[in-house]
Amino acid sequence: MKIFGAFAIFLLALAMTYNVFADINSLRYFAKHFPILDNLFIDDNFFLKGIQNVSKIECTMACSWEVKCVSFFYNDAGRKCRLHNSGFYFKEEGTSASNWTYYMFGEDWCPVHDGFIHERSFNICIHLSSDSFNGIYEARSYCQSKGAAAISINTQSKVTNLTSILNKINTSYIDFDKNPHLPDTYQSYIGLQFINDLWTWDDGSVLSSVEYWGPNNPSQDSGRVCVALRKKSDLVLNWHWCAARCILFMSVLCEIV
């Protein structure tokens, strides 16, 4: 009885946390309602397709079948569904339209309800922290507290695919002035560190020919043995890596593998 009670509470918790929950062929799919983006209509490059006369569960399943689908809007009144291959953060990205509710899509292992982005076409689950941390140790433990690790970007496809995801994030979402010493620059720890004369990823692999260093990098001068993923607000240089001291105050890019 006790176990059953606990299970019922677990189901109740799921029902409250995820507004759509589907168990299909023993894979669990979640769609998390983000009310801040309700009542919006977004028509941009990230629109995938619209589907008429479907239930919310059917809309969620349609998203699960489109490997590019990241989020969707569902219109209960009109039984309409709009799939998108990007997540959205700002109301300003759309025009107002009533009766649409906004959902981020995620599978079991990628907690979109906890701020992760689930890019299924690249099979990647990342979280760019909105907080900053006092050094790499704090940054790493933040990722660990979310069941993740500081990201290891050790294949060419990961470098290119990650850049394309980051480029989708509207830059108005990114606080370029967070670091008082480096105005107009956004930077975030990644899981790469110079240890025993080798650049080593947090997943244990060693830096190979796949690299994405910015100009004049890497340099281990003055203890710059950690790495920041960086972008400047002038947007001239795309996302790149920069050797940095491990005690800098910055955000972190976490990943669940």
Ligand X SMILES: *[C@@H]1O[C@H](CO)[C@@H](O)[C@H](O)[C@H]1NC(C)=O
The residues of the shown chain that bind ligand X, judged by CB under 6 A, are: 53, 77, 90, 92-93, 98-99, 122, 157, 160-161, 164, 170, 172
Closest by CA position to 125, among listed 143, 140, 142, 112: 112
Q: Cα(96)–Cα(40) distance, rounded to whole angstroms?
A: 5
CB of 219 vs ligand X, minimal distance in Å: 28
Name the residue nearer to ligand X (CB basis): 51 or 246: 51
Nearest approach in angstroms of CB 158 to ligand X is: 8
CA atoms within 13 A on the CB side of 62: 23
Q: Give the list of residues 6+ apart from residue 4 with CB closer than 8 angstroms, or none.
A: none
* Pick 13 or 257: Cβ nearer ligand X: 257
The smaller minimum CB distance to ligand X, of residues 98 and 220, is found at: 98
Minimum CB–partner distance for residue 103 and ligand X (Å)? 18
Residue 34 CB neighbour total at 10 angstroms: 18
**Least separation, in Å, of the C-beta of 23 and ligand X?**
21
Q: How far apart are CA 136 and CA 227, in angstroms?
A: 9
Q: Which is nearer to ligand X, 80 or 245 (CB)?
A: 80
| Secondary structure of residue 238 in the 3-state scheme | coil
